[in-house]
Amino acid sequence: MKNIRKEAIEYMKRAEILIKRLLQVLLKRLNVKDIDKEMEHMLMGATRLNFNYYPKCPNPELTAGVGRHSDISTITILLQDDSGGLYVRREGSEADSWIHVPPVTDALVINVGDVLQIMSNGLYKSVEHRVLPNKNKNRISIPIFVNPGPDAIIGPQPQVLETGEKPRYKQVLYSDYFNHFFSKPHDGKKAIEFAKIL
Ligand SMILES: O=C(O)CCC(=O)C(=O)O
Ligand SMILES: [Fe+2]
């Protein structure tokens, strides 16, 4: 396999411009106007790139692909090929209702992750999603997980609570949240309960 380290680093570097712009816009809605160094560390201190490969499978219903989960990022920038297979769950539906995210040439999929849900005290909602493998086509996807630094403390932002809104989430160390998520199999949006004030 060709060594694509250089291309991957270049891709991340270019994506950083988009990531910063998106976070600026999203945080403005939370009354956070200035993203200083500390805030930047909380939002994107440990950004990472993954490569997912889903070999074709004659019986997709017998395999998991990626089980239902939400990402534990602030946001995820997802590049998918033209195979299809990514589904998002319709928020608020009691019965399971999944919407296919069709591949669009030259378009990226932007997912809200749990960290942004926690920081916004629930104003933004992380999207539950899953991947079903394809019957007759291999699939590749390349997500950039925009994650906080492991030592960042994440919680509802003071600017969001200024109106007197009650905090719904605790302040948690991001590495604790990360370890909690990876200590269990994917289970929808269960992980966020780790940070919930009950
Ligand atoms: O392959 C995809 O489209 C999404 C993968 C995914 O959800 C993940 O890696 O967290
Ligand atoms: Fe995901």
Which CATH number covers residue 177? 2.60.120.330
DSSP H helix total and E strand total for the chain: 5, 11
Closest ligand 1 atom, residue 71 Cα: 10
Any idea which of 60-69, 98-107, 119-128, 140-149 has the lowest mean pLDDT? Answer: 60-69
Residue 93 backbone phi and psi in degrees, to 5:
-80, 130
**Rounded to the nearest 5 degrees, what angle is found at the Cα of 125, between the Cα atoms of 24 and 62?**
125
User: Over 70: is that where the pLDDT of 111 sits?
Assistant: yes
Range of the domain at 147: 5-195
Closest ligand 1 atom, residue 86 Cα: 3
Residues 6+ apart with CB under 8 A from 93: none
* Number of independent structural domains in the chain: 1
pLDDT of residue 127: 97
CA 143 / ligand 1 centre spacing (Å): 7
Measured in Å, how far apart are the chain's first and last C-alpha atoms? 49
**Alpha-helix residue ranges (DSSP H) falling in the chain:** 5-28, 37-44, 114-119, 158-161, 174-182
Assess: ipTM above 0.90. Answer: yes
Q: Which residue has the higher pLDDT, 91 or 154?
A: 154
Residue 7 backbone phi and psi in degrees, to 5:
-65, -40
